[in-house]
Amino acid sequence: MSALNTRFARDHRIHPLGMVMAVIITLFTCSLAFAAPQINVSNARIRLLPGDLPLAGYFDLMNRGDQNLVLVGATSTAFKMVHMHRSMEHDGISSMAPVGRLEIKPGASVHFAPGGYHLMLMQATTPLKVGEKIPVALQFAGGQTQQVMFTVNGAGTE
């Protein structure tokens, strides 16, 4: 391999060091591509409320893999309890129901957003501050987890 590289470099008048760098860069890029996340989470945020009231966590999740993803819950070291919920409105009445599992097909996205799916984060272990980043581990069927940093936003935000 090294002899081949040297001859290739000599034939093409490329400095051997340049060749080594190219190989390193190629390998590095390949490893990055293989490590590319199958689960893409963006816009993760928590809306802060005064006192120890339950807070809502929102995010957008895209399944970039080729397998079905099943979101089954979340945990956070910053909260004693995290539930997955969905708000609904029927005939002018707002209600909320727990969600046990949420399937996301390959290439599909799910939006945890005001008035719909949300994480309900309860009993903060320490008081949170606006602007802080809070780690939340999203849990998927099969034991897979994905750590996501949620930004703490003020009460008057969406």
Partner 1 sequence: MSGKFRKSLSQGRWLAIVSTFVLFSLTACQKQEPWALDNITGLMPKLEFNLTNDNGHPVTADAYHGKLVLLYFGYTNCPDVCPTTLATLAQAVRSLGTDADKVRVLFVSVDPARDTAPVLKSYTGAFGPQFVGLSGNEKALDALTRRYRVVYSLDKPDAQGNYAVNHSSGIFIFDGKGNARLLGSSTSKAPEITQDLRHLLATG
Task: Output the smallest distance, CB 93 to partner 1, in A.
Answer: 6
Task: Output the smallest distance, CB 49 to partner 1, in A.
Answer: 6
Element (H, E) at 107: none
Q: Which is nearer to partner 1, 31 or 94 (CB)?
A: 94
Q: Which is nearer to partner 1, 35 or 93 (CB)?
A: 93
Task: Output the smallest distance, CB 51 to partner 1, in A.
Answer: 6
| Angstrom distance (rounded) from CA 83 to CA 81 | 7
* Contact between residue 16 and residue 5 where contact means Cβ atoms under 8 Å apart: yes
Task: Output the smallest distance, CB 136 to partner 1, in A.
Answer: 14
Q: Roughly how many angstroms between the first and final C-alpha of the chain, as a whole number?
A: 58
Q: Which is nearer to partner 1, 20 or 49 (CB)?
A: 49
Q: Which residues bind partner 1 (CB under 8 A)?
A: 47, 49-51, 53-56, 81, 85, 87, 89, 92-97, 114-115, 118, 120-122, 154-158
User: Buried b / exposed e across 61-88, counting CB within 10 Å, b at 16+?
Assistant: bbbeeeeebebbbbebebbeebbbbeee
